[in-house]
Amino acid sequence: MRRVAPIDLATSLENLKLERDAVVLYDSLAEIEKDQTRADAFRRIAANERRHADIWASKLTELGATVPPAHGPRPRVRIIMLIARLFGTRSVADLVKALEGDEEEAYESQGGSPEVAAIAADEREHAQIWERLSSGKPIAEGRDGVGSARRGPYAAEITRREPWHRTSARSGTLRAVIFGVSDGLVSNLSLVMGVAGASAADPSLVLLAGIAGLLAGAFSMAAGEYISMQSQRELFERQIELERAEMEAMPEEEEAELAAAYRAKGFARDEAARIAHRLFQDPEAALDILVREELGLDPDELGSPWGAAVGSMVSFAIGAAVPVIPFLFGGGTTITVISLGLSLAALFAVGAGVSLLTGRGMLFSGFRQLAIGLGAAVVTFLIGSIIGVGAGI
């Protein structure tokens, strides 16, 4: 039996688990998806992930290790599958792209062997397929029969992007919902605990303050999100229209600018000029590329003001309702403790949900969120108690 360093065995085993998780995930997405094109794309990716899993299983066998039986996927993958079943595969696009990005980074950190580099390239391609699916653009057949998400010479799509860019789509509804719930929980828990500390003997006052905080916060969040998103969208649309006007008024100068951008990326002068000229054969395609290259905007991802407003309002209200609900059944120390306990449990759950977007550990993110909420609640409770005693409430 050939002896190897423990890290080789451990890494191969971890890679096998990652690929098996991906197989289960994409098989599930293909089963859930009703759109045949999207379902076929998921099946092709699942087949690719099976090939990766076979590679690592063979590697373990070569190292003299026993290939373990397949077990259920890790919690992060289970949650993504659950969300997809409840809200559809489009709702988990950012989460799956983040997952693909994590796998790509894991492989890139393992060295430059040909097989690892090839698998990392596949993971990048999978993320690009999701970009194609999200934008409604056709998916071409790539190597190994997997749909390729080639988007032309867009630097943002060719180069490897940081993980937070993979999940930073401006229309990320799931992310807005998670952080809306978090805001509602922390702010209304602090308010309820502060009022409870000042007037624990009067549950109706605590209930009134909690409901007022819920309504005020929810409408404030909705108004703020709408104004912010609408203003941002109008700004982006204005920039795009200015770029369109420049193309119409001086196309030669704009073509030269695009060629210069490609020269800055390492293309030879003649090659950059040919690419820019060929792209300018289609004005709309040229505008799309100029907007991405010069302005750093994605015309397909300008965001929905109404979607952001409604999502923020509802999610904030859900989070803010958690500390208020126990006071519907009375007051006193017991109800206050129950309210605090429910809120802390919800804070931990929200923190764990945030980990789906950030890629951090679920326990770390959950306890971090819990600590922040608990700290705010304790401080406001103490301040409320001091004010209550001083005011004779």
Q: Which two tokens stand for residue 122?
A: 């596949």
pLDDT at residue number 298? 63
DSSP 147: E
Instruction: Tell me the per-residue pLDDT of 205-247, one tens digit each, with 9 for 90 and over.
Output: 888 988 999 999 999 888 888 888 888 788 877 877 877 887 7
Average confidence score pLDDT of the chain: 77
Token couple for 80:
């993504």
Which of the residue ranges 98-102, 309-313, 340-344 would you say has the lowest mean pLDDT? 98-102
Domains plus CATH for the chain? Answer: 6-63+74-162 (1.20.1260), 173-229+305-391 (no CATH), 233-295 (no CATH)
With cut-offs at 50, 70 and 90, classify the pLDDT of residue 359. Answer: low
Q: What is the pTM of this model?
A: 0.54
The percent of residues in the chain predicted with pLDDT above 70, rounded, is: 79
Checking if the pLDDT of 366 tops 60, the result is yes
**Of residues 56, 320, 313, 124, the one with CA closest to residue 214:** 320
User: Residue 352 has which token pair?
Assistant: 């764990």
Question: How would DSSP label each residue in 284-323?
Answer: HHHHHHHIIIII---TT----HHHHHHHHHHHHHHHHHTT
Closest listed residue to residue 199, CA positions, set 8, 332, 2:
332
Looking at 65-79, 282-296, 333-347, which range is the least confident one? 282-296
Whether residue 188 contacts residue 217, with contact meaning beta carbons closer than 8 Å, is answered with: yes
pLDDT digits (tens, 9 = 90+) for 21-35: 999 999 999 999 988
Judged against a pLDDT cut of 70, whether residue 157 lies above it is answered with no
Q: How far apart are CA 378 and CA 337, in angstroms?
A: 12
Tell me if 357 sits within 8 A of 177, measured CB to CB.
Answer: no
pLDDT at 174: 61
Beta strands in the chain (DSSP E): 140-141, 147-148
Three-state SS for 151-182 is CCCCHHHHCCCCHHHHCCCCCCHHHHHHHHHH
Contact (Cβ atoms closer than 8 angstroms) between residue 66 and residue 25: no
**Is 304 exposed, middle or buried (CB count within 10 Å of its CB: 0-12, 13-18, 19+)?**
middle
Q: Is the pLDDT of residue 6 over 50?
A: no
How far is the C-alpha of 15 from the C-alpha of 239, rounded, in Å?
A: 44
pLDDT band at 362 (very low <50, low <70, confident <90, very high): confident
* Residue 168 in this model has a pLDDT that exceeds 50: no
What's the pLDDT tens digit per position in 377-386? Answer: 888 888 877 8
Task: Say if residue 112's pLDDT is above 50.
Answer: yes
Percent over 90 (pLDDT), the chain: 8
Estimate the crossing angle of helix 93-108 against helix 6-32, to 10 degrees.
Answer: 160
Residue 321: pLDDT above 90? yes
DSSP per-residue codes, 236-249 = HHHHHHHHHHHHHH
63-77: pLDDT as tens digits: 888 888 888 888 888
Higher confidence at residue 245 or residue 169? 245
Pair of tokens at residue 328:
């519907």
Minimum mean pLDDT among 43-47, 51-55, 100-104: which range?
100-104
What is d(CA 173, CA 301) in angstroms, rounded to the nearest whole number? 12
Residue 342 has a pLDDT of: 92
